[in-house]
């Protein structure tokens, strides 16, 4: 089989397409013939060494496909099941061994590309809007990178919950995408000061919550647009890591709350995984949640997919098709 491997941290060209034997599933594992693998910033973090992995390793934390074999102890899944997963590394390959604890069955009407595109970003948007700061009718939220994969899904879920959404984007084209997803207001941060604009839009009161996946370039200014006792949810760092801060700044800015969550900590049980994945995939199947798949690439073009992702030129989901 063909598989992407990384032997040392570095740029996109560190991802090499190699031949490897098809693995066999162990206890409580399934062998999945991968139909599509999602491309995400977490894959970049592993590739550059920000997140540690023992080399050589295969990137990719999200995928979908068909079960080809199951290992001992597997009772809830069978050969032929259509499945998807997130939070388990190794999807940049033609065949992946995945713990069944990470798998969910794809509902009828959800194809493999959609399933692979939905898991990480969809469940991320779910825990952000339902758990990190559970939005309710009348809340105001600021969503950075609102036209991106996770941002666009978060906009839609925030609107489902009755919130007013202000989204930031880098271009007018992306602002239009965020608007189409349901954003009430958009700010093009490359020519507008998002803090000033948010204060104007909220009459100086600020928003209840900021959902920030950008990090370094937006974080500190974002603290200035949150109402007293509001919340900063920092869930990514596409512009770079946020520098250490003195916690007393949260007091100065209005007794704010801050959290740096991860999807893994919001899918600690099978019940939680089924809840989040079930909602996301069910909403997609019912036409209530719309995914935007921007581009697909053959496995050999994984380096280009990473370049496109890091260049932030794409507004939707990127997929590898093994």
pLDDT tens-digit profile of 180-198?
999 999 999 999 999 999 9
- How many residues belong to the chain? 322
Nearest-5° Cα angle at 30, 38 to 287: 45
Task: Outline which parts of the chain fall under CATH 3.40.50.720.
Answer: 136-260
HSE-up (13 A, CA, CB side) for residue 28? 3
Q: Are 299 and 1 in contact (CB under 8 A)?
A: no
Q: What percentage of the chain exceeds 70 in pLDDT? A: 100
Strand partners, 295: 318
What pLDDT was estimated at residue 241? 87
Provide mean pLDDT across the span 159-185. Answer: 96
**Separation of alpha carbons 188 and 167, rounded Å:** 9
Predicted confidence at residue 299, as pLDDT, reads 98
Average pLDDT over residues 285-302: 95
pLDDT at position 316 is: 79
In angstroms and rounded to an integer, the radius of gyration of the C-alpha atoms of the chain is: 20
Give the single-character DSSP code of 191: T
Q: Among 3.40.1710.10, 3.40.640.10, 3.10.20.340, 3.90.180.10, what is the CATH number of 2-120+265-321?
A: 3.90.180.10
H or E element that contains 31: strand 29-39
**Mean per-residue pLDDT, 251-279:** 97
* Whether the predicted pLDDT of 303 surpasses 90: yes
How many beta carbons lie within 10 A of that of residue 168, not counting itself?
30
Q: What is the pLDDT of residue 270?
A: 95
Q: Closest by alpha carbon to 66, among 99, 20, 30, 18?
A: 30
What is the structure's pLDDT at 240?
85
C-alpha 127, offset from chain centre = 11
Q: Where in the chain is the domain with CATH 3.90.180.10?
A: 2-120+265-321
Contact yes or no for 206/230 (Cβ under 8 A)? yes
Model confidence over 5-53: pLDDT tens digits?
A: 999 999 999 999 999 999 999 999 999 999 999 999 899 999 999 899 9
In CATH, what class is 136-260? alpha beta
Whole-number pLDDT of residue 62: 97
| Beta strands at 164-169 and 185-188: parallel, antiparallel or unpaired | parallel
């Amino acid at each position: 089989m063909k598989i992407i491997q990384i032997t040392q941290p570095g740029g996109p060209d560190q991802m090499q397409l190699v031949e490897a034997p098809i693995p066999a599933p162990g206890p409580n594992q399934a062998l999945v013939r991968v139909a599509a693998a999602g491309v995400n910033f977490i894959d970049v973090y592993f590739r550059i060494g920000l997140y540690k992995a023992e080399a050589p390793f295969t990137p990719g934390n999200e995928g979908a496909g068909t079960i080809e074999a199951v290992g001992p102890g597997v009772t809830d899944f069978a050969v032929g099941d259509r499945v998807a997963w997130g939070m388990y590394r190794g999807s940049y390959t033609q065949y992946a061994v995945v713990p069944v604890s990470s798998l969910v069955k794809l509902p009828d009407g959800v194809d493999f590309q959609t399933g692979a595109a939905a898991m990480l970003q969809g469940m991320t948007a779910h825990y952000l809007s339902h758990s990190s700061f559970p939005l309710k009718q009348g809340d105001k939220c600021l969503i950075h990178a609102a036209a991106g994969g996770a941002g666009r899904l978060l906009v839609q879920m925030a609107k489902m919950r009755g919130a007013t959404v202000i989204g930031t984007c880098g271009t007018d084209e992306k602002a239009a995408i965020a608007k189409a997803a349901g954003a009430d207001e958009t700010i093009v941060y490359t020519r507008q000061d998002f803090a000033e604009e948010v204060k104007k839009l909220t009459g100086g009161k600020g928003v209840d919550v900021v959902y920030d996946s950008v990090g370094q370039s937006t974080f500190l200014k974002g603290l200035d647009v949150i109402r007293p006792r509001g919340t900063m949810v920092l869930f990514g760092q596409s512009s770079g890591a946020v520098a250490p801060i003195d916690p007393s700044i949260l007091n100065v800015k209005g007794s704010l709350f801050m959290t740096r969550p991860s999807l893994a900590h919001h899918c600690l049980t099978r019940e939680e995984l089924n809840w989040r994945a079930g909602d996301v995939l069910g909403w997609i199947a019912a036409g209530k949640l719309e995914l935007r798949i921007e581009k697909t690439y053959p496995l050999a073009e994984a380096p280009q997919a990473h370049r496109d992702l890091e260049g932030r030129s794409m507004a939707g989901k990127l997929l590898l098709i093994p």
